[in-house]
Amino acid sequence: MSMRFKAVIMIVLMLALAACASSSTPTPAASTQPPSGSTQPTATQASGTTGQPTVVNFYSDSDTNITDWLQNKVAPAFQKQFPQYQLKVTIVRGIGNGDQDIADRALAAMKSNSNPQVDGMEFDALSKPDLITAGLWEKLDTTNVPNSKNLLKGVQTSDYSMPYRGSQVLLAYDSSKIKDTDVPKTFADLITWIKAHPGQFVYCRPDKGGSGSNFVVRAIYEVTGKDPSIFKPGTPDPKLLADYSKAWALLRDINPDIYDNGAYPAGNTQVLTLLANGSVSMATVWSDQALQALSKGVLPSTIKLAQLTDLPFPGGEAFISIPKNSQNLQGGLAFLNFMLTPDEQVSVIKELGGFPAVSWSTLPKDLQQQYTSVIANSVPNWPGGEWGTALNKGWYDNVATNIKQGS
């Protein structure tokens, strides 16, 4: 065989092999980026060449109903919209100090330049100011969490945490006994109603349940000018602490008119029981507990909910914080932003009986109409801490003097 003929054969074989290799090359995968114009932050495919979704590690020490919702409802919805991520919810409820231990671990990882293995957590950065000082947390605003533009006024209490759900204290009343038009609209009206209907109103001890403590907080707001903003986190202002005495006088005056001549239940659930069995016709309750009790038939359908119109009762929010040294920072930010979308905020209401962290005006009209009696444009926040310690002691010492604190 001539050398020329051999060369031709070699060229043909090489072309054939190249064609086979070309036909086996996979086509590029479809884009998993948010669609153009999306309000989600840019989320990059961080899984390298494996093609596997990147894990977003999220920690929570909330109650079972919250963690079940996060795992079974939220995670699949998030992953459907962001297939480049896999949300892993780790529950630390009842394990050591819960989320505080995870935050401390993230700080230790930052100091050692190692992986904190956390990309987001249900945590209020203000609960451990030393971690803010240490520079642990990512600063959160509309530049990296675009949907935060819809947050309710006043609910974000620091630059390092964002609320994603909330709960408010409301007035619950038995509409079979009280006309809707007779329900108090202001705190002053409520005090007048209580005195005119002795034994028919109740709130729980402030150190035993938030529905009671926020009633007492609202009394403090009432006597200090109805301006919650003057109560700053940290060491209390001595002048404002002195003004507590005005609230004690107000609450002491209605003490005989509270259920059973000043018998204060030791918890939120006990208040709902008194409403359910008809022992009282009005009380302060947590919105989520009351809504769930109504949906399950624990409270009779005659129980309705209302909010004060002069200054609402305070509430509480659940916050998300993201360590700055997260190995999947974009994934953590994408998840937080996702939680503030209308669909997830509606899920907070319908699945949890909670309240949205965003303005009601961004939610469906039919939902707004359904909750029209309890909607508030802003939710007062109480700083807690030493303010709350003084509140509890002062209430026992000056109002419910027949009950020993801690009993």
Confidence of residue 35 (pLDDT cuts 50, 70, 90): very low
pLDDT at position 40 over 80: no
Report strand pairing: 54-60 vs 85-91: parallel
Q: Domain coordinates of the chain in residue numbers?
A: 54-165+317-363, 167-316+380-398
The DSSP element (H or E) to which 106 belongs, if any, is: helix 99-112
The whole-angstrom separation of Cα 386 and Cα 349 is 32
Contact status, residue 304 vs residue 180, Cβ threshold 8 Å: yes
Diameter over CA atoms, the chain: 118
Check residue 90 and report its DSSP letter: E
276-299 pLDDT, tens per residue?
999 999 999 998 889 888 988 999
361-400 in b/e form (b: 16+ CB < 10 A) is: ebbeeebeeebeebbbeebbbbbbeebbeebbebbbebbb
Contact status, residue 203 vs residue 258, Cβ threshold 8 Å: yes
Confidence of residue 1 (pLDDT cuts 50, 70, 90): very low
pLDDT at position 178 over 70: yes
Q: What is the pLDDT of residue 354?
A: 86
Q: What is the pLDDT of residue 46?
A: 45
pLDDT at position 19 over 80: no
pLDDT at position 29 over 50: no
Mean pLDDT of 55-64: 94
pLDDT at position 17 over 70: no
233-285 pLDDT, tens per residue?
889 999 999 999 999 999 999 999 999 999 999 999 999 999 999 999 999 99
Confidence of residue 315 (pLDDT cuts 50, 70, 90): confident
Q: Return the structure tokens found at 342.
A: 């209308």
Q: Return the structure tokens found at 322.
A: 């993201």
CATH 3.40.190.10 fits 54-165+317-363, yes or no: yes
Integer angstrom CA distances of residue 176 from 136, 166, 179, 281, 291: 53, 29, 7, 9, 18
Segment among 38-42, 60-64, 74-78, 250-254 with least mean pLDDT: 38-42
Q: What is the pLDDT of residue 50?
A: 60
376-385 pLDDT, tens per residue?
777 788 888 8
pLDDT at position 349 over 80: yes
Confidence of residue 193 (pLDDT cuts 50, 70, 90): very high
Mean pLDDT of 183-206: 98
pLDDT at position 30 over 50: no
Helices 210-223 & 187-196 angle (0-180, nearest 10): 110
The whole-angstrom separation of Cα 116 and Cα 108 is 8
Count of alpha carbons within 13 Å of 115, Cβ hemisphere only?
6
CATH of domain 167-316+380-398: 3.40.190.10
Q: What is the pLDDT of residue 175?
A: 97
- The percent of the chain in helix, strand and coil, each rounded to the nearest 5, is 45, 15, 40
The whole-angstrom separation of Cα 250 and Cα 219 is 8
Task: Dump the DSSP string for 362-385.
Answer: GS-HHHHHHTTTT--SB------T
Decide which of 369 and 24 is more confident: 369
Q: Return the structure tokens found at 277.
A: 């069995």
Which residues, including other chains, have CB under 8 Å from residue 233's CB and lie 6 or more apart? 126, 157, 383, 384, 385
Backbone angles phi, psi at 247, to 5 degrees: -70, -40
The whole-angstrom separation of Cα 166 and Cα 309 is 19
Segment among 101-105, 338-342, 366-370 with least mean pLDDT: 366-370
Confidence of residue 335 (pLDDT cuts 50, 70, 90): very high
pLDDT over 70 for what percent of the chain? 87
383-399 pLDDT, tens per residue?
888 999 999 999 999 99
Please work out, in degrees rounded to the nearest 5, the angle formed at the alpha carbon of residue 315 by the alpha carbons of 223 and 292.
135
Confidence of residue 16 (pLDDT cuts 50, 70, 90): very low
